[in-house]
Amino acid sequence: MTRQVLFFSLLVLAAPTPVCAQATGKAAMRLVARERGADYLSRMLHLYGENGVPQPQVWRVVARDRQNAVREFFVTKGAIVAEGVIPPAKANGISGTALPMARLAIDSDAAFIKAEQAARAAKVGFDRLHYQLRCLELSTNAAWFITLLDAQGMKVGEVSVGASTGTVLTQTWFRRPLAVAGGPVPPPPAPRPLSLLERAKAGLSKGTTGVRHGVGNAAGWVQKKVTPTPNPVPPSPAR
């Protein structure tokens, strides 16, 4: 081996290893099927991923096992790092309809692009996202439900994307859009309506003020009527 070839080989070995891209939601579900049996693909129920930037570090895959129990798998860095059966009392909020794996054309990375486009159109900024993939109510069609958070962890928006069509189904925003330079300034938020208790207090205060003014006026009128008018002092005779 010549010195030039040896030097080049050392450079290749010393080069930093590229960081693996964050796994998508479908990749996490396929890994569970590969590690625990291909039949799991037909029993996938729910998928969760928190704090995606844009993809989460850990995916929580929920599926029914061969004994029909609801089992969860935590997938990160290409491996299942934890798993277990979810007690029935805690599994009530999980959709019982299996995900239509053959029709999941939209993965979490594509869902992120849709959510980002919707946020840009609404002029709402965000820092990270929570993902949830499940079937719609009373339907075998699945959707991505994405929650957008700011740097303080406050919710700024919610976007749902059809997992088969990529269509933005719903979007809700919890921050007033920022003004665009040169564009119209958004109107100020409407004043908060008074609560029933606040309205009652305001009415009571107003009534008390009216009564106080009325009593003062009445007292003045009574004093005017009761107190005799003093006789005018006659002018001094002219000299």
Q: Give pLDDT tens digits for 137-182.
A: 889 999 999 999 999 999 999 999 999 999 999 999 997 665 544 5
The rounded distance, in Å, linking the Cα atoms of 21 and 53 is 11
Q: Which residue did the predictor score with more confidence, 190 or 102?
A: 102
Give how far Cα 157 sits from Cα of 28, 50, 51, 154, 196, Å.
25, 15, 14, 9, 30
Confidence (pTM): 0.67
Q: How confident is the model at residue 196 (pLDDT cuts 50, 70, 90)?
A: low
The rounded distance, in Å, linking the Cα atoms of 58 and 33 is 17
The rounded distance, in Å, linking the Cα atoms of 51 and 55 is 8
Looking at residue 191, its pLDDT comes to: 63
Span 8-22, average pLDDT: 40
pLDDT(219) > 90: no
Q: How confident is the model at residue 195 (pLDDT cuts 50, 70, 90)?
A: low
List alpha helices for the chain, DSSP H.
3-14, 25-36, 108-122, 196-226
Residue 174: DSSP 8-state? -
Half-sphere exposure of 233 (CA within 13 A, CB side): 2
Looking at residue 184, its pLDDT comes to: 54
- Provide CB contacts within 8 A for 166, sequence distance 6+: 105, 106, 110, 114
Candidate ranges 20-34, 68-82, 206-220; pick with highest mean pLDDT? 68-82
The rounded distance, in Å, linking the Cα atoms of 27 and 133 is 13
Phi and psi, residue 122, nearest 5°:
-85, -5
Looking at residue 54, its pLDDT comes to: 96
